[in-house]
Structure 1
Amino acid sequence: MKNLLKKSLVLITMFLTSNVALAQKSNQKVVIKTTLNCDHCKECETCGLKFKTEMLKIKGVKMYELDDKAMTFTIYYNPKKTNLQAIKEGISKLGFDADEVKATAEGIASLDECCKI
């Protein structure tokens, strides 16, 4: 009985470890260059809230980090649900450049004056 319990625990541990490894492999990471025109975007009433609420609404985006000093977004996404171009277009609709994809006029209009391009 004790031996069976040990074998069961080993099998369960191996199963869980393999699932975690597979889940991590399904997500990809990309760094996207942007342009920020203010020194407080993350704390801005409009832009900061937009980052917190709208970035994760872009289909397939799991997590993001904004480095306002380097002016980059690090995006973690599921490539089965989206692609890099769709993510860049989603960011542009929020009013920010995403590499070669320029911010849309509607997105820019939704930003505070201090954050507009």
Structure 2
Amino acid sequence: MNFKEKQIERKIPPQESARMVETIYGCKWSLTVYQLLANGINRPGEMVRTVDGLSTKVLNQCLKKNTEFGILKKTVYHELPPRVEYQVTEFGNKFLAVLEQIEALQEDLNNLSR
């Protein structure tokens, strides 16, 4: 009998990145936050004032998740009154590019179903 050596192992899906995408899409405000940052609005108070229905509590939860994933960077300025700003990190820019590709894929799927 001729036994071939196995050349390819079972591919396992990326656990952490899949969870990250799921978490971000699960937070209904993350995409809005990215849009605000792209428009130069990077302070939480201004974000809440700019978007109807966005509360400070929910925004802070959303910003915390994004900061923990490394998508956003929080900068605290030690001045009175206190000032906090958020920026997209280098990793965050890569992540946002992936989200754009997912949105393009969704557009393609929508066009196929018509």
Task: Tell me the TM-score normalised to structure 1 length.
Answer: 0.25
Select the structure with the greater relative contact order (CA < 8 A; seq sep ≥ 6). Answer: 1
Q: Which has the higher strand share?
A: 1
Q: Which has the higher helix share?
A: 2
Task: Tell me the TM-score normalised to structure 2 length.
Answer: 0.25
